[in-house]
Amino acid sequence: MTGSITRERLSDLLVDPREDLDFEVKNWLDLQDNNEDKATFAKAVLALANHGGGFVALGLVETETGIVEAEDRPSTLDRYNQDLINGIVQNYCDPPFHCAVHFVSNPQEDIFPIVVVPGGHRSPVRARRAGPHGNIVQNNAIYLRKPGPRSETPQTAQDWDNLLARCLRNRRDEMFDQIRDLITGAVPQQEQVSESNRLDNWTQDCFERWRNLTCDIPEQAGPKLVHGYYNFSYEIIGERKNIAPTQFPQILSDSVVRHSGWPPFWYPTREGITPYLIDGSVECWLGGDTQVPVLNRDAAHSDFWRIHPDGLAFLLRGYQEDGGGNQPFGSINIAPGSAFDVSLPIWRVGETLLHAQRLAENLFEGPTTIKFVATYGGLSGRELTSIDNRRHIWDGRVSRQDTITLNTHVDSQIIGSNLPEIIHPLLSPLYALFDFFELSNQLVVEELTRMRSNNY
């Protein structure tokens, strides 16, 4: 199924609904809390994807007199939001893809969710996991739409021939599109993760919380981060494990990745900086260390972080280059706000992505996707340098832009094995701010190798 889907097309599906090979109805499945309902929905999506695309309308049931609204309409339709739908798709479909969710009125002005399942896949879409107790969906199974209509695995040579022929046509069409783009100079666009304000809202709330904590400390104190900061926020999308709240601190401690002397999301146990629970999140503010005078606390060791059990994480930290007398790697004294090290962003982003992968493994079950955002502030006037003098950087590469935000989304299972390939395109725009400095793949690979060997 290709082309844009209009509102009118979706409304037409509800005028006189009839199940067909590209249209399936399901009752009010609980896609928020019921794993069997999630598997039922996933099976329909898998079959429609292999058919070439289609629609799943929720809240309807087929009777002898036709398709009508199912009983027990929920009080809200929150269990059908786009992030939740695509979390199920990510968990069950390989390769994963993005589904659009629309809330459409029928002629009686009752609203129903309709999920648009894309086609155009270059290879058969398989189930990357089984349903609960191995039922409904089988691991590695491929499902098709059959007359009836129904969703089932291929039964005949003709079933396989039709499926593979469709995938080959899609490959051919994509190849022709790429050739056409090369000739015309068009740049193909990468498929984007589903748009959602959840991570943005989380980040804004965490910043506001940090401002409240720091509002009464002196302006020149390190925890104020007056010379600049970097912030990493990420969201894990997938199916959460059923974990007791009392287990959460141990999970956070076990998820710390220790490839440097000051790992992100470090979970301290010393009195005065121990993490605590607030507003449903675990929070830690090292800048509030009661055993160190406030004017002696430097920006680089005044981390503020929060992690929510739903898979949301936030880290705010000052630049190590601004450490004052505690200069990194024993380098000469550097004026705060004047330097930007060429190696440290690669290390810090690498450690944080590995932390996201480990937290996803400990907190979620099955496949997960990481939505990651990095923001660097206080860049204006900083000069790109190598603070440990290991790398030669031409003098005078200065940033004129003060802030930049970078983002990516990635299957968490591939982070460990594909870290350079993820980090290079993510950080390249940051380095380009310094008079068009080109971040090389070789530099990224070498620094990540050093990081992982604890060679610091």
Q: What is the pLDDT of residues 353-376, one digit of tens each?
A: 999 999 999 999 888 999 999 999
Crossing angle for the helix pair 344-363 and 419-432, nearest 10 degrees?
A: 140
- 449 token code pair: 């190798």
Cα-atom radius of gyration of the chain, to the nearest Å? Answer: 25
Bridge partners, residue 314, by sequence: 233, 306
Which helix (H) or strand (E) segment holds residue 43: the answer is helix 35-51
Average pLDDT over all residues of the chain:
88
- Written as one string, the DSSP assignment of 105-167 is E-TT--EEEEEEE----SS--EESS--GGG-SS-TT-B-EEETTTEEE---SHHHHHHHHHHH
- pLDDT beyond 50 at 275: yes
Among candidate residues 262, 246, 263, the one with its CA nearest the CA of residue 358: 263
Residue 391: DSSP 8-state = S
Helix (H, G, I), strand (E, B) or coil at 67: strand
d(CA 63, CA 69) in angstroms, rounded, equals 10
So what's the pLDDT on residue 12? 81
Which of the two residues, 195 and 404, has the higher pLDDT score?
A: 404
Q: Judge whether 8 and 22 are in contact, CB under 8 Å.
A: no
- The tokens for 364 are 């979620």
Evaluate whether 375 touches 230 at the Cβ level (below 8 Å). yes
Q: What share of the chain is helix, strand, coil (3-state, %, to 5)?
A: 35, 25, 40
Instruction: Give the model confidence (pLDDT) of 392-443 as tens digits.
Output: 888 889 999 999 999 999 999 899 989 999 999 999 999 999 999 999 999 9
Q: How confident is the model at residue 298 (pLDDT cuts 50, 70, 90)?
A: confident
The amino acid at residue 421 is E
Q: Which stretches of 241-330 are assigned E, i.e. beta strand?
A: 276-278, 281-285, 304-308, 312-317
pLDDT at 455 (0 to 100): 42
| Confidence label for 333 from pLDDT (cuts 50, 70 and 90) | low
Q: What is the pLDDT of residues 86-114, one digit of tens each?
A: 999 988 999 889 999 999 998 888 999 99
Bridge partners for 113 per DSSP? 103
Burial string for 99-117 (b: 16+ CB within 10 Å, else e) reads: bebbebebeeeeebbbbbb
| Widest pairwise Cα distance in the chain | 83
Which of 136-145, 250-259, 305-314, 317-326 has the weakest average pLDDT? 317-326
Tell me whether strands 93-94 and 126-127 are parallel, antiparallel or unpaired.
antiparallel
Sheet holding 229-240, edge to edge: 276-278, 281-285, 304-308, 312-317, 229-240, 364-377, 404-411
Strand, coil or helix: 226: coil
- Phi, psi angle pair for 128, to nearest 5°: -85, 0
Closest CA to 83 of 34, 31, 35: 31
Report which secondary-structure segment, H or E, holds 172.
helix 157-184
The strand pairing partners of 63, in sequence order, are 66
- Identity of the residue numbered 203: T
Mean pLDDT confidence for 345-356: 96
What pLDDT shows up at residue 454?
67
Q: What is the residue whose two structure tokens read 């809240």?
A: 59
pLDDT (0 to 100) of residue 57: 94
Cα–Cα distance measured from residue 232 to residue 407, given in angstroms and rounded to the nearest whole number? 10
pLDDT-derived band at 325 (thresholds 50, 70, 90) equals very low
Given a cut of 60, is residue 189 above it in pLDDT? no
3-state SS assignment for residue 41: helix
CA atoms within 13 Å, Cβ hemisphere of 247: 6
Asked if 348 contacts 372 with a C-beta cutoff of 8 angstroms, the reply is no
- Residue that has been written with the tokens 């029928």 in this structure: 106
Length of the chain: 456
- Least confident residue range of 77-81, 91-95, 178-182, 203-207: 178-182
Asked whether residue 141 carries a pLDDT value surpassing 90, the answer given is: yes
Q: How far is it, in rounded angstroms, from Cα 285 to Cα 295?
A: 16
Convert the pLDDT of each residue in 175-185 to its tens digit.
665 565 455 44
pLDDT band at 186 (very low <50, low <70, confident <90, very high): very low
Which domains does the chain show, CATH number per domain? 7-180 (3.30.950.30), 198-452 (no CATH)
The amino acid at 448: L
Range of weakest confidence among 6-20, 48-62, 232-246 = 6-20
| Over residues 166-187, mean pLDDT | 63
